[in-house]
Amino acid sequence: MILLCLLLAVVTAQQVQNGIEMTADECKEAGFISSSLKCSVCESLPTFNLDHLVTDCQACCTKEKEAEHEKFPLAHVEVCECNLARFPQVQAFVHQNMADQFGDRVKVRHVRGVRPQIVLKDLKGITRQTLNIEKWDTNTIIDFLVQWTE
């Protein structure tokens, strides 16, 4: 039985290396549901010390299309200094000057009484979208700004 499992693993690895995807039944046997498995999940497996599952996962996963969306030339991270201590991740973004990496595209504005938010603006400076960022961590803020500003 062990020899059969080992042989199956070797054949599966060769199929993946040759670009052959696994069938739904093979994926199910390997513990994956191919119809709902997104490839981005496979990329995070090494984070949990599951490197040995990456090959099978990639053979069973469905590639996601990157969502296309409008990019904005300007974004303001608006905060109120009096509320900032309640939101430590946003506070870190502001106090560690993380907005500087975006140059003129991203500015931090101190607006009295406002809860942390990102305001996306067009070339004329007109607000197009406002998002609450109270529960976002610094990485999420940075990733969002990378994807949504140009």
> What Cα–Cα distance (Å) separates residue 35 from each residue in 27, 32, 60, 62?
10, 9, 8, 7
pLDDT digits (tens, 9 = 90+) for 1-23: 554 444 444 444 444 444 557 88
- Give the total number of structural domains in the chain: 2
- Domain-embedded: residue 5: no
Same domain, 96 and 133: yes
- Residue 118 is given by DSSP the state E
Same domain, 81 and 51: no
Same domain, 61 and 123: no
Same domain, 48 and 84: no
Same domain, 113 and 133: yes
- Domain-embedded: residue 3: no
- Domain-embedded: residue 4: no
**Cβ atoms of residues 119 and 76 within 8 Å:** yes
- Domain-embedded: residue 11: no
pLDDT digits (tens, 9 = 90+) for 109-137: 999 999 999 999 999 999 999 999 999 99
- Domain-embedded: residue 6: no
The CATH number that applies at residue 82 is 3.40.30.50
Same domain, 29 and 84: no
- Domain-embedded: residue 104: yes
The mean of the pLDDT values for the chain is 85
Name the burial class of residue 108, with classes exposed (0-12), middle (13-18) and buried (19+) by CB atoms within 10 angstroms of its CB.
middle
Q: Is the pTM of this model over 0.75?
A: no
Same domain, 96 and 57: no
Same domain, 81 and 30: no
Domain that holds residue 115: 74-148
pLDDT digits (tens, 9 = 90+) for 31-85: 888 888 888 888 888 888 989 999 999 999 888 765 577 899 999 999 999 989 9
Same domain, 59 and 95: no
Q: Which of 9, 40, 65 is the last residue of a domain?
A: 65
Q: What is the pLDDT of residue 64?
A: 74
